[in-house]
Amino acid sequence: MPELPDVRFLTVAEVAEIMRVSKMTVYRLVHSGELPAVRFGRSYRVPESAVTDALQRPIADVG
């Protein structure tokens, strides 16, 4: 059986705290596909690496 890489998953609440946004914003990002997530039962888990990538992405230029 192949070994799985060490992936740390975060809850929606943890992601919201790290990104300093509401949980609803995290759900919107997940549902729009901007933030990858895995569904476990009725809850979502987001790979920590995806959160890091999202925070390093350039923000849309306004103006």
Q: How far is CA 39 from CA 2, 30, 50, 60, in A?
A: 22, 10, 15, 28
Q: How confident is the model at residue 58 (pLDDT cuts 50, 70, 90)?
A: confident
Whole-number pLDDT of residue 1: 60
Q: Is residue 23 a contact partner of residue 16, using CB atoms and an 8 Å limit?
A: yes
Q: How confident is the model at residue 7 (pLDDT cuts 50, 70, 90)?
A: confident
Catalogue the long-range contacts made by 27-34 (C-beta closer than 8 Å, 24 or more residues apart): 29/54
pLDDT in tens, 21-57: 999 999 999 999 999 999 999 999 999 999 999 999 8
Beta-carbon contacts of residue 55 (< 8 Å; ≥ 6 apart): 18, 19
Domain boundaries, the chain: 12-56
Q: Under DSSP, is residue 24 helix (H, G, I), strand (E, B) or coil?
A: helix
